[in-house]
Amino acid sequence: MESFNEAIPRIIEEAGWLAPVLFILLHLIRPLLFIPVIVVCIAGGYLFGFVYGTLYSIIGLSLMSLFFFKLVDIFPALRGRVLRLKKKVFKDRVMSIGQVMILRMMPFIHFHLLSLYLMEMTSSFREYMRYSVVGVILPSMLYTAFGQVITEMPWYLSIVFFGSLALLFSYLGKRGTAVYKWDRFFPRKAIERG
- Answer yes or no: is 191 within a domain: no
Range of the domain at 26: 2-185
Phi, psi (rounded to 5 degrees) for 53:
-60, -40
Is 92 a member of any domain?
A: yes
In a domain, 193, yes or no: no
| pLDDT above 90 (res 157) | no
pLDDT at 189: 54
Using CA of residue 27, residue 30, residue 31, residue 37, what is the dihedral sign? negative
Residue type, 150: I
**pTM for the full model?**
0.70
Query: Tens of pLDDT along 38-53?
Result: 888 888 887 888 889 8
Q: Give domain status of residue 192, yes or no.
A: no
**Domain count across the chain:** 1
194 domain-assigned: no
pLDDT band at 150 (very low <50, low <70, confident <90, very high): low
pLDDT for the residue numbered 17 = 83
